Structure 1
Amino acid sequence: MPYTRIVTGKKTTLSKSFTLLMLLIFVVGISLSGITLARVLNSKAQHEVASTANVVMDILSSARDYTNNELASQLQERIKANEFVPQVIPSYNAKSIFKILHQNHSSYAEYKYKEAMLNPTNPEDKANEFERKIIKHFTLKPDIPQIEDFTFLKSGEKFFYTASPIIIKDSSCLKCHSIPAEAPEEMIRLYGANNGFGWKLNEVLGTQIVYIPANIVMRKAIQALLWVLGSIALIFAITIFAANFWLKRYVVNPVREVVEVAEAVSIGNMDAEFKSASNNEVGILVEAFTRMKVSLVMALERLEEYRLGNRRKDDSNRR
């Protein structure tokens, strides 16, 4: 009787099923890990940007201190009475240094620095509504030396910022900011007599603030996320390839050979032989099929002997 193999439905190999399962696990895993990693890496990127902003702030604060403690005292002795020299003003030097940093170093090209004052000498330093809130915050909480967060500017662009209070602690700094009559004539000519006066010691007069576009934070986070996810995807692809290679070589191919021999035996080809396999489950399966084939051959031989014996008896009886 001819052997007919019945196949129902679309054939799906073990390796394909395994690959699909691994891909499903990968998609779920990469999605969950991506969400978690995005939060972690965004926080890390924000911390890195904040650290850089704090370095800039420290540099500019140091420039202010140097100007106030060293440069001003040295230059003041060489300056004529009532002469106005911007280079002895801490805020002027801090802004000048940042301008050089901003122009000469591309990594700081998108940074912004401002010494926002409630009552500035230079109108350009006038605090906006957001900066006034920060100054008020420092006034109400003098024990807080620095704050950092995200905000939106008038342009609608989101910025990360770090801010510190401006507090005058040296009375010599108030020489030009007490009353207009005490200020240099050149200063009055440049900025007028209505701004930058009436300052007091140990009061929060303004804030040093460094602005950094939020897209820098996001760009750093996205770059780190893509690098990590890309590495995970590459490792997973190598794992799937290696697992499929192993599965085909040590499971799928040996089982396919067993199936082919079993099908051949089932249609009467007793010369087909099961190949020896390794000492694993597939090898045990081959041994089981080999014993089954031997048993089947013995059973068929006995059946054939029984059939021939009965035929001889029938022939003898007929005679």
Structure 2
Amino acid sequence: MLGSPLRWTRSESLNLSSSRSTVLRRPEIGFVGLGHMGGPMSARLVRAGYDVVGSDLVATARAKLRALGGRTVDDVGQIGAVADIVVLILPNSDVVEAVAGQLASGMRPGAAIVDMSSSEPTRTRRLAESLSARGIRLVDAPVSGGVRGATDGTLTIMIGGDADAVPGLSELFAQLGRPISVGPVGSGHAVKALNNLLSAAHFWLTSEAVAIGIKLGIEPEVLLSVINRSSGRSGSSEAKWPSFVIPETFDSGFEAELMLKDVKIAVGLADDVNIPSLLGRDLSGLWEDALNCLPAHADHTEIAKVLLERAALSELAATVARPEERP
């Protein structure tokens, strides 16, 4: 267990001319990325009593955090100047590196960045080395569990790096879910990519199995109820199909493009260690091909629409946008 999140620090706010009395408080938390996952995660921290300063490109996302009692800024660099721990939930390593650079210019030595995005492990390790030269620690801690897990505080948190060296980090993780240390810096992102390789395969094959079942006259709900009592069950059969595909909501909160990105990262890891990922490479191609049939920013569960359309099984096919109809 880590030490208490309470420690003696100087009380600061974004208005640096305000009172600077020394008080006992929790670490101040910065949070960059207040979208589908970052929004409910940052909300949990505010409700738990943390002082959270957030930033997001979308004004409505910033407004939601302020309504809960958090603070927001437009300039990410301001967060680096006041936060002890900055959490990132961003689309990819390109954005993470750009934001980390803005933060680092103002962060105090001893402060930490916690990248809870799905980033590339090799780039995460390089970023950690760069930040370490400035006295800033990087911990990678991607999550699994979707929007529901982010809202309920039941996320699986895959920790790469020395979280014990960051005061108060274990208590912060405890507000968000179940932390598991998996290895040195970059290991968390590697585990997340490998998990999503499996998740993408499960969802694709579950969708194929349902399509075959429909052709054989078996109702999807009946087939899934049997699978979920049998060895073929997975998160896709137990949660994704019943919650997002059958009701036709397709709103898991995780985009298909991000799933494909993680599959490609996993296949790249296989290449790095000279292990042929034959199915992984084929799966990447299948997802990329299906993604071309969906509108930009489509939820990853909408891949089922494509498979049903190809089997000519459902009116869902009529809702699949053609590439030329993309915005």
TM-score (ref. length: structure 2):
0.23
Structure number with greater Rg is 1
TM-score normalized with structure 1 length: 0.24
Structure with more helix by fraction: 1
